[in-house]
Amino acid sequence: MLDGSPQELRTVWLEGDTVRMIDQRALPSAVRILELNDVEDVARAIEGMAIRGAPAIGAAAAYGLALAEIRGMDLGRAAARLRRTRPTGHDLFAAIDRVLREVEDGKTAREAAEAYARDDIERCRAIGRHGKRLIKDGMRILTHCNAGALATVDVGTVMAPLTAAKEAGREFFVYASETRPYLQGSRLTAWELGNAGIDHAIVVDAAAGLLLQRGEVDLVLVGADRIAANGDTANKIGTYPKAVLAKTHGVPFYVAAPMTTVDFGARTGRAIPIEERAEDEVLTIAGVPVAPKGSRARNFAFDVTPARYITGFITDLGVLKPADLRARRKKR
């Protein structure tokens, strides 16, 4: 609902000479649209978590370059600013590189950004088609963080097979872990699941082990921010222990992500930079202190799950195994 009426919105889009995006910090209480007028506005929106999710950040950066072109700013300088926003997600860099490459080939930055956004939607639809077959009637699915439409331009990665299975008439249940400290699971994933009519419950992050131990999870399905060439995967902090526990209890663990998230230049997960964010995100919730005054915090935004704990990758090219990624790297 926006201004009292239902509307279909993308996560981020270019309207005239302004980038517009859903301000995800306001959800689920309100749907607020940000209007961004220059590259610095876009960069700060990415850094400030107004937009998050690797594919969505990539599209936002692409549109940021379009704004730079509109404002007559040097694209190389704009690209350098956008690259500094968040270090872990690979789509940010893939999007910037693609726009710059297509500008060299004669396209405008606006044309390249719009093409990137359209392709992101198609990639997510393909993930939905390939992943739908993994979701059976009666399944209980555990997810982590948010990999829905809000994390992409539209459709989502994890949400794509969930909504495709729902549309096919399958009934299943989703556990959304709350995802401290930013609560993307309880604020965003639960909101999207509710809007899609998918039965779900929010659980605290630490409940995943109990659910898996008790046999109450049939499938773990998560997104990704960067996938190394060997299949090691960076995703929101708290993903790695879920993968280890899933392996321990014999539960399949799948990563849903477009091929733009795969960094073939990173041979293993050790090459993936891990962003560490401000302490206040841990020490407060919605601005309210939840720790003693003077306490310090470490706020790691991501962890890396080794490929040996991953059953497969649901991508726009199909369901791949870690060995398939390694083979693609050799071909490259």
Same domain, 267 and 153: yes
Same domain, 141 and 199: yes
Q: Check pLDDT > 60 for residue 326.
A: yes
| Distant-in-sequence, close-in-space partners of 12: CB < 8 Å, separation ≥ 6 | 19, 20, 21, 22, 51, 56, 59, 60, 63, 117, 153
Active-site residue list: 225
For residue 112, what is the enclosing H or E element? helix 109-131
Same domain, 140 and 205: yes
Name the amino acid, one letter, at 78: A
Q: Which of 31-40, 274-283, 318-327 bottoms out in mean pLDDT, i.e. has the lowest?
A: 318-327
Query: Is residue 145 in some structural domain?
Result: yes
Same domain, 85 and 144: no
* DSSP 8-state code for residue 104: H
Final residue in a domain of this structure, among 104, 124, 144: 124
pLDDT at 222: 98
Query: Is residue 7 in some structural domain?
Result: no
Query: Is residue 6 in some structural domain?
Result: no
Spatial separation of the C-alpha atoms in residues 296 and 299, rounded to whole Å: 10
Q: Check pLDDT > 60 for residue 1.
A: no
pLDDT at 328: 86
Q: Check pLDDT > 70 for residue 2.
A: no
Final residue in a domain of this structure, among 124, 155, 179: 124
Q: For the segment 171-215, what is each residue's pLDDT rounded down to a tens digit?
A: 999 999 999 999 999 999 999 999 999 999 999 999 999 999 999
Spatial separation of the C-alpha atoms in residues 157 and 259, rounded to whole Å: 11
Compute φ and ψ for 87, nearest 5 degrees: -85, -20
Segment 221-246 shows an average pLDDT of 98
Same domain, 153 and 31: no
pLDDT at 7: 67
Query: Is residue 49 in some structural domain?
Result: yes
Q: For the segment 251-277, what is each residue's pLDDT rounded down to a tens digit?
A: 999 999 999 999 999 999 999 999 999
pLDDT at 327: 87
Same domain, 188 and 245: yes
Give percent above pLDDT 70 in the chain.
98
Spatial separation of the C-alpha atoms in residues 199 and 165, rounded to whole Å: 13
Same domain, 146 and 28: no
Report yes or no: 226 and 272 within 8 Å, Cβ to Cβ: yes
Same domain, 117 and 143: no
Per-residue HEC secondary structure of 186-236 comes to HHHHHHHHHHHCCCEEEECHHHHHHHHHCCCCCEEEECCCEEECCCCEEEE
- Domain interval for residue 322: 133-331
Query: Is residue 235 in some structural domain?
Result: yes
The confidence band for 4, taking pLDDT boundaries of 50, 70 and 90, is low
Prior bond to 28 cis, omega within 30? yes
Spatial separation of the C-alpha atoms in residues 251 and 68, rounded to whole Å: 47
Compute φ and ψ for 315, nearest 5 degrees: -120, 175
Spatial separation of the C-alpha atoms in residues 115 and 130, rounded to whole Å: 23
The confidence band for 331, taking pLDDT boundaries of 50, 70 and 90, is confident
- Kindly report the CATH number assigned to the domain that includes residue 246: 3.40.50.10470
The number of CA neighbours under 13 Å toward the Cβ of 19 is: 37
Tokens of 280: 């206040």
Query: Is residue 3 in some structural domain?
Result: no
Query: Is residue 4 in some structural domain?
Result: no
Spatial separation of the C-alpha atoms in residues 296 and 214, rounded to whole Å: 35
Same domain, 100 and 162: no
For residue 160, what is the enclosing H or E element? helix 159-167
The pTM (predicted TM-score) of the whole model is 0.96
Same domain, 57 and 153: no
pLDDT at 122: 98
Final residue in a domain of this structure, among 124, 144, 161: 124
Compute φ and ψ for 176, nearest 5 degrees: -105, 110
Segment 55-69 shows an average pLDDT of 98
Q: Check pLDDT > 80 for residue 332.
A: no
Q: Check pLDDT > 70 for residue 3.
A: no
Give percent above pLDDT 90 in the chain.
95
Spatial separation of the C-alpha atoms in residues 176 and 188, rounded to whole Å: 10
Query: Is residue 255 in some structural domain?
Result: yes
Domain count, the chain: 2
- Kindly report the CATH number assigned to the domain that includes residue 101: 1.20.120.420
The confidence band for 329, taking pLDDT boundaries of 50, 70 and 90, is confident
Same domain, 282 and 311: yes
Buried b (16+ CB within 10 A) or exposed e, 293-314: eeeeeebebbbbbbbebbbbbb
Same domain, 106 and 168: no
CA torsion sign for 79, 117, 110, 20 is negative
pLDDT at 146: 98
